[in-house]
Amino acid sequence: ELKVEQNPLFLSMQEGKNYTIYCNYSTTSDRLYWYRQDPGKSLESLFVLLSNGAVKQEGRLMASLDTKARLSTLHITAAVHDLSATYFCAVDGGETSGSRLTFGEGTQLTVNP
Amino acid sequence: ETGVTQSPTHLIKTRGQQVTLRCSSQSGHNTVSWYQQALGQGPQFIFQYYREEENGRGNFPPRFSGLQFPNYSSELNVNALELDDSALYLCASSLTVNTGELFFGEGSRLTVL
């Protein structure tokens, strides 16, 4: 059974600081996704990482994937309050899984002024 | 381009009742997946439909059932509701069955009393 673990689960940081969220998963997969969820809202796709060594950046967020280590990171640079949300990583079990995603528990990020 | 739409957005039921949730997939997408997200948790895969047939199922009992229609819209039916069924139910569509990237609707929040 594919397991996905995120840490930390809760993160409180000051504006302007940098931090990294980690996502470990338990089986080989080349496809990993990061989503953002605001309270009471649905999931917004942030990044799609489809190969080992993939790195993608959008604004203050950068995601990377190391399939050999079964690890993805979401790095936050110079955090701002608008980044406050819950961030989920999700792993695709591969073509045989038919796009079935297994999600981590989520990291609840709070950025304080 | 029309995104994924779900209805109803909120509903309240009592134990033992039945509920039907509806989803219209994003234009051009032929695969629909349903996820259950309990409060404070990551989404859990319920099942996926492709070409009007179930194409993979998570660890949910048979009282969770679904349909996909020729226009790729979908329904999730839950019979004999239990208190633990209270959750946000998310529908997601993808371009086809193995593309991986999912686009989520706003969800249907079900409360079972």
Contacts with B43 from chain A: Cβ below 8 Å: 43, 88, 90, 101, 103
pLDDT of residue A51: 85
pLDDT tens, chain A, 113 aa long = 889 999 999 999 999 999 999 999 998 777 899 999 998 888 999 999 988 889 999 999 999 999 999 999 999 999 999 999 999 999 987 655 556 899 999 999 999 98
Q: Determine, for residues A42 and B94 on separate chains, whether the beta-carbon distance falls below 8 Å.
A: no
Express each pLDDT in B13-71 by its tens digit: 999 999 999 999 988 888 999 999 999 999 999 999 998 999 889 999 999 999 999 98
* The pairing of beta strand A61-66 with beta strand A55-58: antiparallel
DSSP output for B26-90: PTT--EEEEEEE-TTS--EEEEEEETTEEEEE-S--TTEEEEE-TTS-EEEEE-S--GGG-EEEE
Chain B: nearest CA to A14, how far in angstroms?
Answer: 23
Cβ-defined contact of A105 to B98 (cutoff 8 Å): no
Task: Burial-class residue B105 by CB neighbours within 10 Å (0-12, 13-18, 19+).
Answer: buried
Q: CB-CB: which of B41, B50, B101 is closest to A105?
A: B41
In chain A, whose CA is at the least distance from the CA of B4? A42
Give residues with Cβ within 8 angstroms of B61, minimum separation 6: none
Structural Rg of chain B based on CA atoms: 13
Q: What is the pLDDT of residue A15?
A: 96
User: pLDDT per residue over B83-94, tens digit each?
Assistant: 999 999 999 998
**Do A100 and B48 make contact, defined as CB atoms within 8 angstroms?**
yes
Report the amino acid identity of residue B64.
F
